[in-house]
Amino acid sequence: MRDKIVAVIGLGYVGLPLACLFAKKYQVIGFDINTARISELKNNIDKTREVSSDELELIQDRIAFSSDSQDLSSANIFIVTVPTPIDDNNLPDMTPLVKASRMLSQIIKKGDIVVYESTVYPGATEEVCVPELEKSGLKMNQDFGVGYSPERINPGDKTRTVETILKVTSGSNEYYADAVDEIYKSVITAGTFKASSIKVAEASKVIENTQRDVNIALINELALIFNEVGIDTREVIEAAATKWNFVKLFPGLVGGHCIGVDPYYLAHKASSLGLSPNLILISRAINNSMPKFVAEQTIKQLIKHDKSIKGSNILILGVTFKENCPDVRNTKVLDIGNELQKYGVKVSYSDPWVSQEDWEYLGISPVEYGNLPVGNYDVVIIAVNHREFKVKDQVVRNYCLEPSVIIDVKGVLENPDWRL
């Protein structure tokens, strides 16, 4: 192959770190349809906080950011990292993937390789994406190659960065499987695992998050049981974890763009084959029920402390779907607030990690975390374990009217009034 020029399509939490990694070795074109995003990146600003301004400045001679698809024409390796969400019926929404593939059909040339990283069900790349690419008049394996290498980026994690996470790779035939593996092996220090087929690679990714979703659902169901028994779930787990083969997980909300979404892709594929993915869907239902459970326990604590429900003032600390990360996609924290509002309470939110743009997107006027009023709230709920919230119990209680009520969803405090 001629000198490699890598184009990364989609510059979000997955695409940008990957593009920056490739730019350490190759010329890279970073493409995104969001013109505001491109403008920020050209000014060495990454609002996701995954890549620092210093890092962007170091590679600015090796990476070109653009929202014009014609700027992709010089590339010969295309890596697609667009979102794969679900619709209102929890069915796969392949629209971003189809649009990206359709755009590339106007650009790809003989000898080019298109690699997909977006999470999909087994078979999606060849059944959905390749037909769009072949609208170019070129044929897969005869004129161009296709690969699949599932993303494994953990947003907000500064230890397990993209180059330190082993990469699964695959290709549309043996030649392209080797080519895809080599391109990733050249930048991923943790190494690669070459799968036997694209379908195997697709399946490997979707079961990673499905397994985690099912495991968390078990722990969440145990939390429901132990709450009625009157014992602390976290204490039970700490005791059980003294056995060597116990998997130590804690209850919690399951949101975000991966764990709360990917199982629906696998369930959809199973259903299309006439199978009933009962465990997968029951696990999703359990995890989706947790915000309502937290809201109900909050109301019970108001009653227990002889506080009026209607008109009570509740502060929720943390809105992002996970700790120490500004990502609000598919956050389940807002579901707690929505459930509480059904009881006639006033809900306020504060999160130092959320940008003004995202607050506006969520339709929320937040309380500035650095300026929280003292003695103002009937209840404070810690919904996300940001490092800023890991303080002594009394610091949080100071925000409350007496008697103070603290709800701890993430096990941050020593002695909350109730914790999940």
Q: Is the pTM of the predicted complex or chain greater than 0.95? A: no
Among 144, 172, 196, which residue terminates a domain? 196
How many whole angstroms separate alpha carbon 28 and alpha carbon 78? Answer: 10
154 and 43 inside one domain: yes
Within 10 angstroms of residue 392's Cβ, the number of other Cβ atoms is 10
DSSP code, position 75 = -
180 and 284 inside one domain: no
295 and 192 inside one domain: no
221: in domain: no
How many whole angstroms separate alpha carbon 70 and alpha carbon 292? Answer: 48
In this structure, the strands spanning 63-66 and 113-116 are unpaired
Known catalytic residue: 325? no
How many whole angstroms separate alpha carbon 117 and alpha carbon 188? Answer: 15
Among 151, 175, 196, which residue terminates a domain? 196
How many whole angstroms separate alpha carbon 180 and alpha carbon 185? Answer: 9
112 and 155 inside one domain: yes
* Structural domains counted in the chain: 2
Taking a C-beta distance cutoff of 8 angstroms, is the pair 267, 280 a contact? yes
Among 177, 196, 215, which residue terminates a domain? 196
Domain that holds residue 327: 229-419
DSSP code, position 404 = P
250 and 187 inside one domain: no
Give the model confidence (pLDDT) of 202-213 as tens digits. 999 999 999 999
Taking a C-beta distance cutoff of 8 angstroms, is the pair 198, 147 a contact? yes
Catalytic site residue from 20, 129, 258, 325? 258
328 and 392 inside one domain: yes
How many whole angstroms separate alpha carbon 140 and alpha carbon 111? Answer: 10
140 and 46 inside one domain: yes
Kindly state the tokens that stand for 361. Answer: 């997107």
Kindly state the tokens that stand for 314. Answer: 């509740």
Reduced to 3 states (helix: H, G, I; strand: E, B; else coil), residue 382 is: strand
Q: What is the pLDDT of residue 257?
A: 86
145 and 240 inside one domain: no
Within 10 angstroms of residue 9's Cβ, the number of other Cβ atoms is 30
Taking a C-beta distance cutoff of 8 angstroms, is the pair 309, 345 a contact? yes
208: in domain: no
How many whole angstroms separate alpha carbon 213 and alpha carbon 84? Answer: 17
205: in domain: no
Question: Which position has the token pair 């996701």?
Answer: 48
Q: Which residues of the chain have pLDDT under 70?
A: 1-2
172 and 235 inside one domain: no
184 and 299 inside one domain: no
211: in domain: no
206: in domain: no
Phi first, then psi: give them for residue 44, nearest 5 degrees: 60, 35
Task: List all residues 6 or more positions away from 304 whose beta carbon is below 8 Å from its beta carbon.
Answer: 417
168 and 43 inside one domain: yes
CATH code of the domain containing 184? 3.40.50.720
105: in domain: yes
201: in domain: no
Give the model confidence (pLDDT) of 313-358 as tens digits. 999 999 999 999 999 999 999 999 999 999 999 999 999 999 999 9
Taking a C-beta distance cutoff of 8 angstroms, is the pair 163, 136 a contact? no
Taking a C-beta distance cutoff of 8 angstroms, is the pair 129, 96 a contact? no
Task: List all residues 6 or more positions away from 211 whose beta carbon is below 8 Å from its beta carbon.
Answer: none
Kindly state the tokens that stand for 73. Answer: 């024409």
User: CA-CA distances (angstroms) from residue 310 to 139, 313, 336, 348?
Assistant: 64, 9, 16, 15
How many whole angstroms separate alpha carbon 207 and alpha carbon 212? Answer: 8
How many whole angstroms separate alpha carbon 118 and alpha carbon 99? Answer: 13
Q: How far apart are the first and last CA of the chain?
A: 55
Reduced to 3 states (helix: H, G, I; strand: E, B; else coil), residue 301 is: helix
How many whole angstroms separate alpha carbon 411 and alpha carbon 420? Answer: 7
In sequence order, what E strands does 52-141 have?
63-66, 77-80, 113-116
How many whole angstroms separate alpha carbon 41 and alpha carbon 55? Answer: 11
191 and 241 inside one domain: no
Phi first, then psi: give them for residue 198, nearest 5 degrees: -65, -40
48: in domain: yes
